[in-house]
């Protein structure tokens, strides 16, 4: 009922979107990092309840941690969810893709590229029929 880290960050260092054009669903992921530490993270979505829950869980796992820790946590979450229902796999992919896109955006900004956000299209939709 009260997801953690939901909503945009003030002056994020990276913003990424995982988007399904087929369904119109998306997750926006916000990073605020200092060197290798993810000081703050946030997300927003128009996806289902599972997407909100997975976003909340994942952001709580990585907030305040190193990028390497977050990368490993993303892999572990993907592996764990792969054992569950297809719907949860799709929702997790949307969250993790948005996280990946935010990292790409942050790297682009660090190189001086004027990019508001980075979007990655995903091939599945969260609202899948089981």
Which pLDDT band, with edges at 50, 70 and 90, does 28 fall under? very high
Which pLDDT band, with edges at 50, 70 and 90, does 127 fall under? low
* Entry pTM: 0.92
Look at residue 130 in the predicted model and tell me its pLDDT.
45
Query: Going by CATH, does the domain composed of 14-121 fall within 3.90.1010.10?
Result: yes
Tokens linked to 17: 């979107």
Look at residue 83 in the predicted model and tell me its pLDDT.
86
What CA–CA distance (Å, rounded) separates 49 from 107? Answer: 30
For residue 124, is pLDDT > 80? Answer: no
How large is the average pLDDT for residues 25-40? 95
Instruction: Read off the pLDDT of residues 90-104 as tens digits, 9 standing for 90 and up.
Output: 889 999 999 999 999
Which pLDDT band, with edges at 50, 70 and 90, does 111 fall under? very high
Domain boundaries, the chain: 14-121
Q: Which residues contact 85 (CB under 8 A, 6 or more apart)?
A: 130
Three-state DSSP state, 18? strand
β-bridge partners, 14 = 31
What CA–CA distance (Å, rounded) separates 102 from 123? Answer: 18
């Amino acid at each position: 009922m009260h997801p953690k880290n939901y909503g945009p960050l003030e002056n994020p260092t990276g913003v990424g979107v995982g988007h399904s054009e087929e369904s119109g669903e998306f997750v926006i992921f916000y990073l605020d990092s200092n060197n290798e530490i993810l000081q703050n993270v946030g997300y927003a979505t128009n996806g289902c309840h599972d997407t909100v829950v997975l976003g909340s869980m994942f952001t709580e796992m990585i907030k305040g941690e190193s990028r390497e820790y977050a990368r490993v946590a993303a892999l572990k979450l993907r592996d764990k969810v792969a054992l569950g229902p297809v719907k949860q796999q799709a929702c997790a992919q949307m969250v993790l893709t948005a996280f990946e896109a935010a990292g790409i955006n942050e790297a682009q900004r660090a190189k001086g590229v004027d990019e508001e956000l980075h979007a990655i299209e995903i091939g599945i939709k969260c609202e899948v029929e089981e």
